[in-house]
């Protein structure tokens, strides 16, 4: 099971690094990476309930911040394409 999680983590990292067109795809890949990392950390012995709630709380805050930045970008430029961020 751990091997499958590590394979998924590697593939999600490759997709994250290769997704350069739309910001929404990048944010979705980033959230998938966060959830996979949570799955990997759940199998470690030192990951307690307090650590898991702290990790999940920070990941929810990160996703809310990313979504608010995406909404601001779409409202200002009308598109979520990454090349709009250059200038």
pLDDT digits (tens, 9 = 90+) for 36-72: 888 878 877 777 888 888 988 999 999 999 899 888 8
pLDDT digits (tens, 9 = 90+) for 14-38: 888 887 788 888 888 888 888 888 8
| Count of beta carbons in the 10 Å neighbourhood of residue 27 | 19
The class (CATH top level) of 7-79 is: mainly alpha
Q: In the chain, where are the structural domains located?
A: 7-79
47 dihedral zone (left: phi>0; alpha: psi -120 to 50; beta): beta
| pLDDT of the residue at 84 | 66
């Amino acid at each position: 099971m751990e091997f499958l999680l590590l394979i998924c983590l590697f593939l999600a990292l490759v997709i994250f690094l290769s997704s350069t067109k739309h910001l929404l795809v990048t944010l979705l890949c980033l959230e998938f990476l966060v959830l996979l990392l949570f799955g990997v950390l759940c199998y470690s012995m030192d990951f307690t309930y307090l650590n898991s709630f702290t990790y999940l709380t920070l990941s929810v805050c990160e996703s809310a911040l990313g979504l608010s930045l995406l909404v601001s970008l779409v409202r200002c430029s009308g598109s979520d394409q990454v090349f709009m961020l250059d200038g």
